[in-house]
Amino acid sequence: MTVLTQQTVGTLSGRVAVPAYDRSALTVGIVHFGVGGFHRAHQAMYLDRLMNEGKAHDWAICGVGVLPGDVRMRDALTAQDGLYTLVRKHADKTYEARVIGSIIDYLFAPDDPEAVVEKMADPAVRIVSLTITEGGYNIHPVTGEFDAQAPAIRADLRAGAVPATVFGLVTEALRRRRARRLQPFTVMSCDNIPGNGDVARRTLTAFARLADPELAAWIESTAAFPDSMVDRITPVTTDQDREALALRSGVEDAWPVVCEPFTQWVLQERFSAGRPPFEEAGVQVVADVGPYELMKLRLLNAGHQALCYFGHLSGHRYVHEAVTDAGIAKLLVDYMDVEATPTLPPVPGIDLNAYKRTLLERFGNPEIRDTLARLCAESSDRIPKWLLPVVREQLARGGAVTHAAAVVASWARYAEGVDESGEPIEIVDRLKERLTAAARAQREHPTAFIEDRDLFGDLADDRRFVDPYLRALESLHTKGARATVRELVGL
């Protein structure tokens, strides 16, 4: 067994694919906040692909962690000199492992915030990228405005405060670049949010305006915030994944990444200080990401929400199990065809019917073993951004919302925290207590869950949504998930 480090990686050739470039010659050009499985299966992989072709050697990544949970990633990557193994699992059981070498440094902000700020202030750094999750932008789920009253934000805005949030750290780095007459770096969001570049711009400049209005004006006039659409199913790494890698390849990796074969990155051509030649690694660089972004958020991401709660309540625990359930599969297809697709503009170069068929194939890959629990987590950040926009657009156009309303009802039933056998459900959500209290009140007060206006706005006032929602919720309580789904789709 070989422990993965820079010293040992050369001995692994023949067992796994390894970097073909000299990592000691790489220099940092990108600082990335939120190094997790998805970033390492996606952006870091594309850069590694370029580096193996002799390109982008001045665009290596310095990862940054901000949250307490990032300590594990710091320790894993530091011990392995930034190296990790990316494993692609095909439905036919083909297993492809590759060591990725594009991350060459990692900083944990609470250890040394000054080092993080100075790294971004370095003129060699030209992009700061983000995968900080849908909830990381500190925006109100209904209004979309920056929440200046959040305790962490207020703390960062105090005079003389040492920055601790992404907003405080990035703003301070931009302040130093301006003072040193350097170009601002590009802020590149890779999170699953509609208009993620615009969201990053609005939230960062809102923070900067509170700290220094002149700095905010400079950022708005000179910095770039490209939109992007990123897509690759990347389940949580398990001990079984580590053991499989060790058995198959003889590699001891503290935190490998498992992913599906499919990958897509659509990126807007909007950079303030240059960029790697991403298009040479398979990235679609376009003028307008919007149509691609809506396609993915409303079909794939909202589709995941359509199957995960019903799937869990029906007794399934993995995505591939749920999508092979005939009722859930038809619910997913009907939602995509009847409710989501009418809200989508034409997507250049994409056949939507073929894309939807591909989604079902991807969801059904049994080798990925993507858990429904992962998809059910942080629903209060996901449903308002991915599914409710479909509901609102359909209501505005007089379209159907029956399936989307049923999905919301399945979330409300799941949020009660007890399954149909009386077993506890572990709710993972920043609003867990609030959601569970509302969900448990709904048997006596059926609209309790959707009366949360921070999440649902005025949808509880619209009978076109409320009526199918209540029908589905009552059926979930009286007949159970399986019967509810089959009745909903006519099976």
pLDDT at 141: 61
The domain made up of 2-286 has a fold known as Rossmann fold (3.40.50)
pLDDT at 142: 62
Query: Using H for helix, E for strand and C for coil, what is the string for 430-443?
Result: CCHHHHHHHHHHCC
How far, in whole angstroms, is CA 304 from its chain's centroid?
12
The domain made up of 290-489 has a fold known as N-(1-d-carboxylethyl)-l-norvaline Dehydrogenase; domain 2 (1.10.1040)
pLDDT at 144: 72
Q: How far apart are CA 199 and CA 218, in angstroms?
A: 18
Domain boundaries, the chain: 2-286, 290-489
- Coil, strand, or helix at residue 325? coil
- Coil, strand, or helix at residue 212? coil
Q: How far apart are CA 491 and CA 367, in angstroms?
A: 28
pLDDT < 50: residue spans in the chain:
none
Paired tokens of 463 = 């009978």
Q: How far apart are CA 52 and CA 274, in angstroms?
A: 20
Paired tokens of 374 = 């992962």
Q: How far apart are CA 315 and CA 332, in angstroms?
A: 17
Pairing of strands 228-231, 257-259: unpaired
pLDDT tens digits, one per residue of 68-116? 999 999 999 999 999 999 999 999 999 999 999 999 999 999 999 999 9
- Coil, strand, or helix at residue 183? coil
pLDDT tens digits, one per residue of 257-304? 999 999 999 999 999 999 999 999 999 999 999 999 999 999 999 999
Residue 453's CB: how many other CB atoms inside 10 A?
13
